Structure 1
Amino acid sequence: MADQPWLTAAATRTVMKALEAAGGPGCARFVGGCVRNSLMGQGVDDIDIATRLRPEQTIAALKAAGLKAVPTGVEHGTVTGVSERQPYEITTLRRDVETDGRRAVVAFTEDWAEDAARRDFRLNALYADAEGTVFDPTDGGLEDAAAGRIVFVGEAETRIREDYLRILRFFRFYAWYGRGAPDAVGLAACGALKDGMGQLSAERVSKELLKLLAAPDPRPSVRAMQDSGVLAQVLPDVQPLAVFEALCGPSDDPVLRLAALLPADEATVVRIAGALRLSNAVRDRLAAIVADGPTVSPGMGEVAARAAIYRLGQRAFQDRLRLAQAATGGDGEALRQLAEAWSAPRMPVGGRELAKLGVKPGPETGRVLKAFEAGWIADDFPEDGHEDRLRGLLAN
């Protein structure tokens, strides 16, 4: 692991030298995702560091080296160091004093094994020093990373009872890093303790769910969630997985994948989005997929497709098309290209044009404009003849 670009970067070296200048060689080690992903040949986005230094010592060490120190979570031991604009999350070694299924009261320690013992999975409890030497306190993390196994540290039920979010994390990490069947012991524990997820905040649940659905292929993980009863715990109205399974190949969009798991009922989708505390943008997108409007199918003609794009908007049309394609197996590529290339025109007439024809503002204006729009859409958005069409509508 010594040749990893993130490990040998000057910014990283500067941070580690600053910490070791204060705490001595070996007082700080990389931990978690950066170590795991490097061993598994995947990209590294975030660099986390564990240290024997207390938060105040970490801050002093960073400042002494001329680095920025941000106390992002000092009560939990976390300080963010910034070197060459790169953030490094640095956390003092910890052990759990008390847990309640949602959060933990921690105490600082200098024991690497104690810090590893409170982590969720063995492949997340791997550490590496400044030279890239890897340490495996659980004696299983290296094997798990090599085999693509997601195994809880210690007893699975104990880890889950400490924080029930670890149930979803089990399936999320399996979706991203797992190979073969999921760990049977961990899967059984998740199923047995799934009711405990009811005490979690909706925001934490939805964040994990969307991360899981963003995996390159979340299908095996979602199947395992369904078989264990965890999926129904998260999404009580979850639909059969056939459309979701078919969609996951061509689409890597986590929101669209979530839509494939939800019923085609706007009120129900809005209720679920609210229960999960999804963002307004995600809620509105999910609702638009199932709201009343034109039926979209891969076999529809271009005239009908343009009418649907006009009524629904480009995003909702494309979302409905992808789901319809997954449901029917049809080829919607030409229609997707049409939706991307075609810009829906603006309604070419309004109250001003009717006023010129002697129509005063009122109910008649709305009736005529609605009828005009319907005919204009049906005729595939002609660019001229608008006044004649209005006169014809007024004559009826």
Structure 2
Amino acid sequence: MGGMILPDAEWRHREGLAELVAVLGDARFVGGSVRDTLLGLPVSDLDVATPLPPQRVMELLKAAHIRAVPTGIDHGTVTAVLPSGPVEVTTLRRDVSTDGRRATVAFTDDWREDAARRDFTMNALYADPATGEIFDYFDGKADLDARHVRFIGDPLQRIAEDHLRILRFFRFLARFGEVADAAGLEACTARARDLMALSRERIADELLKLLVTRDAVRVVELMIERGIFAPVLPEIASAERLAHLAAREAAAEVAPSAIRRLAALIPADPALADQIGARLKLSNAQRKRLASAVVPPEEPPHILAYRIGADAAFDRLLPSERPLAEALEVDGWQPPRFPLTGGAIVGRGIKAGPEVARLMKTIEEAWIAEGFPGEDRVAELADAAVAQALRSASSAQAASRSSARE
């Protein structure tokens, strides 16, 4: 158990952290910060565990003039706001009862009990802030070295406690894993229907995180093969388009987008995409983006970008079969503004009214077709369109006069 030391890392020197740990007295770093440091990855969220009850944590922080926010005090979590950002301080806990969605917890002073309620062995590693000594109760370090994603204890029981762990198992596999624990994989497969009991927000949150991981394509293929999506997202039936998109993102050196990747997993039907967005309780902006991104691109890149915006055009072109260069043409492109006003049409002798809007549209279409030429060319296009409209109007008037004389 002993002997392992946490490597030094930038986050361990964050301003105010040493003082926070000193004020608590009995505390250890836990979870993601320890795991990611052992993997040589950057650490964003910082969690500290302590046997002290949450009210005592609040008192100690206030006495030391460290801002304390009772973010989840019933569950034992107090957020310490340091000059370098927030740190979650959580009292050691054990589960009293669970229903697959939320847990009722009791506080404990037993580090092993706290470790036993965490999901995977690689997430149950603790480190002493002063010495860096690592505390590992369930062989998490060996699993981490082997990139082995393994539940602590009986996988079926752990899934029964919180059904979201099914999706977390696959997300951790896609982010850190090489090897899916066989018992864990079987348990997730057997209990996939349990996902139906979860809020759609929690499902969406896990799914969107999973889709941008390092190994998302392989893991999504495994999830499809195992029927994991069937209960909540039966529309996801193939990862072929996702694999194509991921390869194109890598070739273009573009960071993956979760919404664009989700669009590559569902049928190319905007109405259905919108329903899926609603089912997952996505934000209005995300729903709109999802419904737009599933549409295959039909027009040339700059014309498409002018009509729907450069970002939306990029979302359609990148996953498509069109040359990758076309997607890159619109990436970050600023569509030009149409340099003509209705006043310029009226000034050319057309009476204000619906005819002005019709002519504006005609001239704009000609301008788009010619690749957005400058103002001189737009003036020529406007002159020609107005001249034609005036000719048509005068010949129509002549025709109506002659029919009146008859």
Give TM-score, length-normalised by structure 2: 0.87
1:81, distance to aligned residue in structure 2 (A): 1.1
Rounded Cα–Cα distance in structure 1 between residues aligned with 2:333 and 2:76: 54
Rounded Cα–Cα distance in structure 1 between residues aligned with 2:163 and 2:331: 42
AA aligned opposite 1:230: I
Residue 205 of structure 1 is matched in structure 2 by 203
**Closer, same or farther: CA 178–6 of 1 in aligned 2, 3 Å:** same
AA aligned opposite 1:289: A
1:342, distance to aligned residue in structure 2 (A): 4.7
RMSD of aligned Cα (Å): 1.9
Residue 24 of structure 1 is matched in structure 2 by none
Q: Deviations over 1:175-223 (max 9, x none)?
A: 11101x4111111111111111112111111111111112123112111
Q: Deviations over 1:130-177 (max 9, x none)?
A: 221111122x21111111111111010111111111111111111111
Rounded Cα–Cα distance in structure 2 between residues aligned with 1:290 and 1:218: 19
Given candidates 364, 386, 395, the residue that maps to 1:391 is 386
Residue 402 of structure 2 is matched in structure 1 by none
Is 1:19 aligned to 2:11, yes or no? no
Residue 250 of structure 1 is matched in structure 2 by 248
Residue 3 of structure 2 is matched in structure 1 by none
Given candidates 295, 314, 337, the residue that maps to 2:310 is 314
Rounded Cα–Cα distance in structure 2 between residues aligned with 1:381 and 1:83: 52
**Closer, same or farther: CA 185–341 of 1 in aligned 2, 3 Å:** closer
Rounded Cα–Cα distance in structure 1 between residues aligned with 2:116 and 2:31: 13
Q: Report 1:66-81 matches (<5 A).
A: 66-81=65-80
Is 1:264 aligned to 2:264, yes or no? no
AA aligned opposite 1:255: I
1:372 and 1:389 in contact (8 A); partners too = no
1:217 and 1:248 in contact (8 A); partners too = no
Residue 357 of structure 2 is matched in structure 1 by 366
Structure number, greater radius of gyration: 2
SS at match of 1:46: coil
1:217 and 1:249 in contact (8 A); partners too = no
AA aligned opposite 2:8: D
1:285 and 1:316 in contact (8 A); partners too = yes
Residue 65 of structure 1 is matched in structure 2 by 64
Residue 288 of structure 1 is matched in structure 2 by 292
Rounded Cα–Cα distance in structure 2 between residues aligned with 1:381 and 1:41: 49
1:32 and 1:48 in contact (8 A); partners too = yes
Question: Structure 1 residue runs of 4+, over 4 Å off?
Answer: none
SS at match of 2:97: strand
Rounded Cα–Cα distance in structure 2 between residues aligned with 1:14 and 1:151: 35
1:2 and 1:8 in contact (8 A); partners too = no
Q: Deviations over 1:10-41 (max 9, x none)?
A: 52211111101xxxxxx311111011111122
Is 1:5 aligned to 2:5, yes or no? no
Rounded Cα–Cα distance in structure 1 between residues aligned with 2:160 and 2:96: 14
**Closer, same or farther: CA 160–67 of 1 in aligned 2, 3 Å:** same
Q: Deviations over 1:334-383 (max 9, x none)?
A: x3443247532222334322322343344333332222222222222233
Given candidates 185, 188, 206, the residue that maps to 1:187 is 185
AA aligned opposite 1:331: P
SS at match of 2:268: coil
Residue 172 of structure 2 is matched in structure 1 by 173
SS at match of 1:120: coil
Rounded Cα–Cα distance in structure 1 between residues aligned with 2:381 and 2:337: 13
Is 1:332 aligned to 2:335, yes or no? no
SS at match of 2:234: coil
AA aligned opposite 2:136: D
1:165 and 1:200 in contact (8 A); partners too = yes
Residue 92 of structure 1 is matched in structure 2 by 91
Is 1:381 aligned to 2:372, yes or no? yes
Residue 103 of structure 2 is matched in structure 1 by 104
Q: Which moved more, 1:7-16 or 1:54-63?
A: 7-16
**Closer, same or farther: CA 376–35 of 1 in aligned 2, 3 Å:** same
Rounded Cα–Cα distance in structure 2 between residues aligned with 1:269 and 1:71: 39
Q: Which moved more, 1:239-248 or 1:365-374?
A: 365-374
**Closer, same or farther: CA 389–342 of 1 in aligned 2, 3 Å:** farther
Residue 398 of structure 2 is matched in structure 1 by none
1:77 and 1:92 in contact (8 A); partners too = yes
AA aligned opposite 1:273: G
Rounded Cα–Cα distance in structure 1 between residues aligned with 2:63 and 2:245: 53
Residue 50 of structure 1 is matched in structure 2 by 49
SS at match of 1:261: coil
Gaps of 5+ in 1: 21-26, 297-303
Q: Deviations over 1:108-137 (max 9, x none)?
A: 111112111111111111111122111112
SS at match of 1:295: coil
**Closer, same or farther: CA 105–366 of 1 in aligned 2, 3 Å:** same
AA aligned opposite 2:16: A
AA aligned opposite 1:170: F
State the aligned residue count: 375
Gaps of 5+ in 2: 1-5, 250-255, 393-406
Rounded Cα–Cα distance in structure 2 between residues aligned with 1:204 and 1:135: 30
Q: Report 1:221-260 matches (<5 A).
A: 221-251=219-249, 252-260=256-264
Rounded Cα–Cα distance in structure 2 between residues aligned with 1:264 and 1:43: 37
